[in-house]
Amino acid sequence: MSLLTPLALLTGLLALPILLLYMLRLRRREVVVSSTFLWQQILRDREANTPWQRLRRNLLLILQLILLALLAFALARPFITVPAVSAARIAVILDASASMSAQDGDETRFEAARRQALDLVGTMNDGSQMIVIRAAENADVLAPLTGDRAVLQSAISGAQPASGSADWDAALTLAAANAGGGQDFTTVIISDGGGLQGDAGGATLPSVPGELQYLPVGQDAGNLAITALAARAQAGEAPQLFAQITNFSDVDAEVIFDLRVDGELFTAERYSVPAGESLPIVSRSLPDSYTTLRAGITAPSDGVFPNTLALDDQAWVLASSGGTRRVLVLTEGNRFLDQAFRSLPGVESFIAPPGALPTSPFDLYVFDGWLPDALPNADIMIFNPPNALPPYFTVGAMQQRPESADAPDPTANISADRSDERMAFVDVSAVNLFEFRTVTAGDWARTLISADGGPLLLAGETDGRQIALFTFDLRQSDLALQIAYPILMTGLLDWFAPPTLVREGQISVGESAAFVPPSTADTLRVTLPDGTTRDLPVISSDDVLFADTTQTGLYRLTALADGAPIDESAFAVNLFDAGESDLTPFATITLGDSTFAPDTSEETGQREFWPWLALIALVVVLLEWILYHRQRGGVRFRPVQIAGLSREAKRS
């Protein structure tokens, strides 16, 4: 600590006259009273027979001397040296990425960054203006460009770190937008350097106008993280789990890996993870049915667990929501259809002869050479339709391969519409066909496979059901013997599968989730891991995007119609970001072609404390005033019976 005006300490010499005033003899007016018992204070003056008296301990004197000392130090203007920026316009970017939640000693990195930002506000020039930007999954302006220190301090004090990586591109763009032409403008980045390195994306970040200062935070710290978690189930096999634990420290670490199935502890095992390496964990003992899996890592009681970041100690994964599709195939012994559906994963097929439909519902009905009078309320696949089915389609004449080679062949040039995602990998150029029916469908149908004589496969959606229509008998072609057959059937079955509410069951922090609203839903309600909810209106049949995925954990999605739930789903959000889990701080940052170190364009300022000293002095003045008035009003007279005095004299 230093003093700007040390000569102001000479005001402390005023303590001498204060002491003299307490030592001088007090002059009082003599008054005749009936008894000295009524004036006990006069007894104290019996010792004042000389102009000077011995200095006694007096609380008022002590308070006055303290007040004088505070005022003297305030006039001397004590200060400390702190980082400062003297530009007219200042943009402070606070790194709020997940790594800034790491614990460094008694405070987190983000708390250290806030403290440095508050120091910058305290050293601003009177004419300077500052904007505060929080660099998280999305760049947020905490305080617009202003010179009001109270507004800036309040915004910085209320800032909180996030759970994902920082969008530095957006943060730097916001800073540049307030440069005012770049003249007398300084950008201050307070960060641990993650994501601002040349090999980690820093070279692709835009440069900012004016000057740039880098204030690093963070200490070297080890960390252990779950960097991968997935589960899968293949047909005829038990579900399997794959997890990966990465040790980002320079020492080997012992860790307990626990797995919870639907909230209940399933297993907990101890592992040793070598320094700087990853440990894969594969489990084949999962239960046959589950909804959610939660993996976690904790420190054993006797192990060294280099862990300063808690965000990556847990991860979640959901069971596949596709389920098993029940398929009913109505055919007269078509083995090609039977074998195709039996070999497809996730399909439970049933074979029945054409006739009355069973009462139990199925997800998909396959009609081979036969059609009921009315289609069931489910998805439909039709082979070789024998008759028309208004209003869906009409059936015309049979198209056959001609006997003469000179005649036009309606079955020639078979091709698939490769622009349709269902036909992306289907090659039917080598398929041979004997005959097919001429079918004309409405606008609901799209031709996926065609020949010279007309469409061979039509597909589309109408009246709430999906329909695929093959215009030929599978046994009148060699399609079932081609490699394209299982690919075609798998693609169609994936299309028939009812879309889940959530496109992806697992995403990263900050990534947008895509929802598929049911046709009858008017609202999608998202329940976040902390229990708060967000309501998203359903305006059209298009996907609904949800970007508020800043928390790790499980998110619940509920589709509502007139306030009543009609469908539910869930998805998991995990960190899984090695750049955030690796807590190594960086001494330099890279923006474009430039590298910045902490001492580049670094300035210092002076933080003065005289306002605080003046405030304490004011408190001392109030205490001195209260004490003085208590002493004056605190002397009470006790009634004394004196012989010979009148009642009036006694009162006096």
What mean pLDDT comes out for the span 77-104?
82
Rounded Cα distance, 356 and 372, in Å? 8
Torsion angle in degrees (nearest 10) through CA of 198, 201, 204, 210: -70
Q: Per mean pLDDT, which range of 12-26, 219-233, 389-403, 440-454 is the poorest?
A: 12-26
**Spatial CB neighbours of 250, under 8 Å, sequence gap ≥ 6:** 222, 275, 276
- Tell me what pLDDT residue 518 has: 85
- Tell me what pLDDT residue 648 has: 46
- Tell me what pLDDT residue 28 has: 56
Rounded Cα distance, 400 and 154, in Å? 82
On whether the CB atoms of residues 256 and 297 are closer than 8 A, the answer is yes
Amino acid in position 576: F
- Per-residue buried b or exposed e for 441-467, using 16+ beta carbons within 10 Å of the residue's own CB: beebbebbbbbebbbbbbbbeeeeebb
Class of domain 325-496: alpha beta
Residue 549: other Cβ atoms inside 10 A: 23
Q: 506-574 domain in CATH 2.40.110.10? A: no
Q: Per mean pLDDT, which range of 459-473, 487-501, 504-518, 569-583 is the poorest?
A: 487-501
Which 3 state secondary structure label does DSSP give 42? Answer: helix
**Checking DSSP bridges between strand 589-591 and strand 594-596, what pairing results, if any?**
antiparallel
Confidence category of residue 347, pLDDT binned at 50, 70, 90: confident
Query: Does 625 have pLDDT greater than 90?
Result: no
| Tokens read off for 360 | 């139990």
- Tell me what pLDDT residue 649 has: 43
Among residues 478, 480, 439, 484, which one has the least CA distance to residue 457? 439
pTM attached to this predicted model:
0.62
Residue 125 is classified by DSSP as -
Burial label, 429 (beta-carbon count in 10 A; 0-12, 13-18, 19+)? exposed
What mean pLDDT comes out for the span 340-345?
79
| Selection from 3-7, 36-40, 411-415, 605-609 with the highest mean pLDDT | 411-415
Query: Does 172 have pLDDT greater than 80?
Result: yes
- Tell me what pLDDT residue 601 has: 47
What mean pLDDT comes out for the span 617-630?
75
Residue pointed to by tokens 């894969």:
280
Reported as a single tens digit per residue, the pLDDT across 518-529 is 878 999 999 999
- Tell me what pLDDT residue 250 has: 87
- Tell me what pLDDT residue 95 has: 95
Confidence category of residue 600, pLDDT binned at 50, 70, 90: very low
- Number of alpha carbons in the 13 Å side-chain half-sphere of residue 134: 24
User: Does this chain's domain 81-219+585-608 share its CATH topology with 325-496?
Assistant: yes
Q: What phi, psi does 51 have (nearest 5°)?
A: -65, -20
On whether the CB atoms of residues 350 and 362 are closer than 8 A, the answer is yes
Q: What phi, psi does 626 have (nearest 5°)?
A: -65, -45
Among residues 369, 358, 298, which one has the least CA distance to residue 336? 369
Confidence category of residue 652, pLDDT binned at 50, 70, 90: very low
First-to-final CA distance of the chain: 61
Q: Per mean pLDDT, which range of 369-378, 493-502, 550-559 is the poorest?
A: 493-502
**3-state DSSP: the chain helix, strand, coil percent, rounded to 5?**
25, 35, 45
Query: Does 353 have pLDDT greater than 60?
Result: yes
Burial label, 512 (beta-carbon count in 10 A; 0-12, 13-18, 19+)? exposed
Torsion angle in degrees (nearest 10) through CA of 294, 296, 301, 307: -160
Rounded Cα distance, 249 and 523, in Å? 46
Q: What phi, psi does 624 have (nearest 5°)?
A: -65, -40
Domains of the chain: which residue ranges? 2-76+610-633, 81-219+585-608, 227-318, 325-496, 506-574
Reported as a single tens digit per residue, the pLDDT across 133-168 is 999 988 999 999 999 989 999 999 999 999 999 999
Confidence category of residue 264, pLDDT binned at 50, 70, 90: very high
Domain 227-318 sits in CATH at 2.60.40.10
| Tokens read off for 246 | 């990465």
Q: What phi, psi does 14 have (nearest 5°)?
A: -65, -10
Among residues 291, 281, 279, 283, which one has the least CA distance to residue 239? 283
What mean pLDDT comes out for the span 166-179?
90
Confidence category of residue 271, pLDDT binned at 50, 70, 90: very high
Q: Per mean pLDDT, which range of 98-107, 171-180, 300-309, 544-553 is the poorest?
A: 300-309
Q: Domain 81-219+585-608: which topology?
A: Rossmann fold (3.40.50)
Q: Where are the alpha helices (DSSP H) in 472-609?
A: 484-496, 578-581
Residue 502 is classified by DSSP as B
DSSP sequence for 100-112: GG-EETTEEHHHH
Average pLDDT, the chain: 83
Query: Does 32 have pLDDT greater than 80?
Result: no
Q: What percent of the chain has pLDDT over 90?
A: 42
- Number of alpha carbons in the 13 Å side-chain half-sphere of residue 33: 14
Bridge partners (DSSP) listed for residue 258 = 268, 296
Reported as a single tens digit per residue, the pLDDT across 543-599 is 899 999 999 999 999 999 999 999 899 999 999 998 899 998 988 888 877 888 885
Reported as a single tens digit per residue, the pLDDT across 379-429 is 999 999 999 998 899 999 999 999 888 889 999 999 999 888 889 889 999
Query: Does 174 have pLDDT greater than 70?
Result: yes
**What sign results for the dihedral spanned by CA atoms 114, 117, 119, 121?**
negative
What mean pLDDT comes out for the span 177-204?
79
